[in-house]
Amino acid sequence: MVVAITDGDTLKVRCGEPGAFEQITIRLGAIDAPEKKMPFGNRSKQTLSDLCYQVQATITPKTKDRYGRTVGDVECRGLDAGAEQIRTGMAWVYERYAKGYEALYPLQEAARSAQVGLWSDPAPVPPWEWRHQ
């Protein structure tokens, strides 16, 4: 069960059996969403929330990141959450970590061509560049 949405690429899930639940933070694999203070940051978070908040999710863990979060794939309402964030223009393909996720690139290009979401901005700044500033 998804119990919280941190931002457009991170959520918290409750796993386990009643009386022995564990809360785990999941970072969606191969995508990077705008930070909260960036343009589209709140919209990206809301889009992920609309798809996943308080629904049963299927989590496919891939690895752990340097913050101890589980990085993986999340399916909500029969849809891949990361792919949906890319398709709706609410995240970038995080090229540095996108090996094995080549199917995301056509979704990103379609969103860019249609100028949906963050692609409606004439010069969107990727989060990894914004954080570096």
Token representation of residue 17: 């059996």
Q: Can 35 be counted among the known catalytic residues?
A: yes
Q: Which of 43, 69, 95, 112 is catalytic?
A: 69
Instruction: Burial-class residue 6 by CB neighbours within 10 Å (0-12, 13-18, 19+).
Output: middle
Torsion angle in degrees (nearest 10) through CA of 55, 31, 23, 43 = -60
Structure-token pair, residue 64: 């752990």
27 is catalytic: yes
The one catalytic residue among 35, 43, 95, 112: 35
Catalytic residue, candidates 27, 75, 84, 87: 27
Tell me 38's DSSP state: S
According to DSSP, residue 71 is labeled: E
Q: How far is CA 49 from CA 5, 43, 71, 76, 133, in A?
A: 6, 10, 18, 10, 28
Q: Is 131 a catalytic residue?
A: no
Show which residues are catalytic.
27, 35, 69
